[in-house]
Chain A
Amino acid sequence: MSRDGGADHRGRGRARGFLYDNGLGLAFGAAFVLAITGQAIAGRAEFNSELITDGLQPMGFLAYLTSSDFAVDVTENWQSEYLQFFLYISVTVWLVQRGSPESKPVDKAGPESDHDQLTGEHARPDSPRWAAARDWRQAVYSHSLGLVMGTVFLLCWFSQSVTGVASYNERQLRQLQDPIGWAEYLGRAEFWSRTLQNWQSELLAVASMAVLSIYLRQRGSPESKPVGASHSTTGVEG
């Protein structure tokens, strides 16, 4: 094999290695782009159909992407997804589900010891630096995943309310009705209908995953117990 051929082979190996090592993130990232593009196309068609019915000018694709109608539809789903993960991350510290791979062992409820969590004096040489710290940094880093998910949830929910009132008011004006303020919108049925219809589906998905994974298996999936694991085995992923 020539030197060039060897370098080429190593290059291909590195490229294949990157794709293989990041397949989950890349595949879901690509699927996300396709799905949100499809949502924009379908959403614009539906919105334009309403405008045409009202005798108004249809909206271009770029204009629709920056419209409150599209933004509220996006953010109402985002907030509920981040709420789902925030709750799952936080609630599973304290609540367990016997037999579920989504739960930790039933005798481990709570924040656990420094020994179990590899924090403070139990931190290892390769532990993140803030895990070894004995001050506020350890406290912050110990909750960083939940804090970030919770913050993103609140930001998305706030965005839903801001874009939601704009979208609601645009419809109000089309129907020759007065617009309303942000605070009033927070008490309106539309805001809570958009919010709760997303929350209920996320909560149902989490509850069913926690319970179904006690009895059902998906060979090779880290979200499932090993196929041969007993139904009572808790906190073991395959």
Chain B
Amino acid sequence: MLTGLVLAVTATACGSPHERRDDAHAAAVRFEQALGAGRTAVLCAALAPGTREEVEQSAEGPCDRAVERDKLPAGGAVRHVDVYGDQAQAVLEHDTVFLAHFDDGWKVTAAGCEPHGEEPYQCEIKGR
């Protein structure tokens, strides 16, 4: 009963787990499509504020020029998405993308990520 209540409350709080996973999945797909099409403005808009800030700071220039210069590898199709609370991980054919939920939807916090054993993924772009 208690567990059911906890799960029900958690599930209904901000949409069902399926809806959240679908939304995160769609955000990852949009990010990859923008990457493939070279639409840098869309790509930058898909980044979380902290990640975009880091990209601009490390490039010492605007985001769209930075992502154009440091081209991310194409990730391919999304294989699966895990969502926990406001955080998500999308595993693609050739990439792993991390996302976080904001008021205006899911945003990419890190992309171009490679596993690094027990340590955090090493990512081409990431936030703080």
Contact = CB atoms under 8 A, between A and B. Distances in A.
Contact of B121 (A54, A63, A176): A176
Given A63-B13, A170-B85, A178-B89, A57 B103 contact: yes
A226 B11 CA distance: 52
Tell me the interface secondary structure of chain A in the complex: helix
B6 A163 contact: yes
B26 interface: no
Contacts of A54: 50, 127-128
Interface size class of A (residues with CB under 8 A): 20 to 34
Contact of A176 (B12, B102, B120): B120
17 contacts: A54-B128, A55-B53, A55-B127, A57-B86, A57-B103, A66-B9, A66-B12, A68-B84, A159-B6, A162-B3, A167-B84, A172-B84, A173-B88, A173-B98, A176-B98, A179-B84, A179-B89
Interface residues of B, number: 38
Contacts of A66: 9-10, 12-14
A178 B123 CA distance: 13
Contacts of A162: 3, 6-7
A53 to B, nearest CB: 7
Contacts of B98: 173, 176
Interface stretch (A4-12, A133-141, A150-158, A191-199): A150-158
A56 B49 CA distance: 8
B3 A166 contact: no
A142 interface: no
A179 B9 CA distance: 22
B25 interface: no
A155 B109 CA distance: 36
Q: Which are the 10 A-B pairs with shortest beta-carbon distances?
A: A55-B50, A66-B13, A173-B87, A169-B84, A170-B85, A176-B120, A170-B84, A55-B128, A55-B127, A176-B121
